[in-house]
Amino acid sequence: MIDVIPLKYGPSFKKVFSKPEIFSRFASDVLGMPIKIDHVLTEYEYPEPVGFVRSQYDLFAEDIDKRIIVEIQQVKEGDFFDHFLYYHLISLVEQVKGYKEYCFDREIYTIVVLTSVPKDKSVNFSYAVSDFSPVDEQSRRIAVYPHRLVFLVPRLENEHTPPGIGKWLKFLKDSLDGKMDESSYPDEMFQTLLKEMK
């Protein structure tokens, strides 16, 4: 067992996940697609205000086609779902540069990590995704918009959690008490993470 910095707090989470190789692997596994990031920004704000509330993103990165945002939340506030929907929408709206150019140059993926479980049981999942794809009268999903808002709750990881996401949730959950068994994580990426957390 080794002592580690718990990943339930914003500063420690941002320190570790701001490393491009770690961010890229995490985002790739959670989103189920290849993500290659060269630079990760912390506490990022768009240069020009968008909307009435200035949004500051914990972790913000872009590859050529995708804009990926990762937010860490220790406690679920009353406006939790509205708050992150707003952040997600602002990153879509920010791309529209003119009244006649309703186009989004980048796909938007917002990943929210909730490190506690609300006592009111208003969150009872390990992984949930909200996308913008319309569903027709025959319950067919129409793949129009690729954008996704993903919620992760490490403490609720279970047998139904998708495997690629589950390994990250197990790792995050294991870190929350500040002690981890290195031998449980032979994957080179997780060994790199553990070194960053000492």
Structure confidence at residue 98 (pLDDT): 65
> What does pTM read for this prediction?
0.92
Chain segment 43-67, per-residue pLDDT in tens: 999 888 887 888 889 999 998 888 9
* Mean pLDDT of all residues in 84-106: 83
Contacts of residue 139, defined as CB under 8 A and 6 or more positions apart, other chains included, come to none
Structure confidence at residue 190 (pLDDT): 96
Residue 77 has pLDDT above 80, yes or no: no
Cβ pair 113, 154 in contact under 8 A: yes
Structure confidence at residue 100 (pLDDT): 64
- How many other CB atoms sit within 10 Å of the CB of residue 27? 26
Chain segment 119-139, per-residue pLDDT in tens: 888 899 999 999 989 999 999
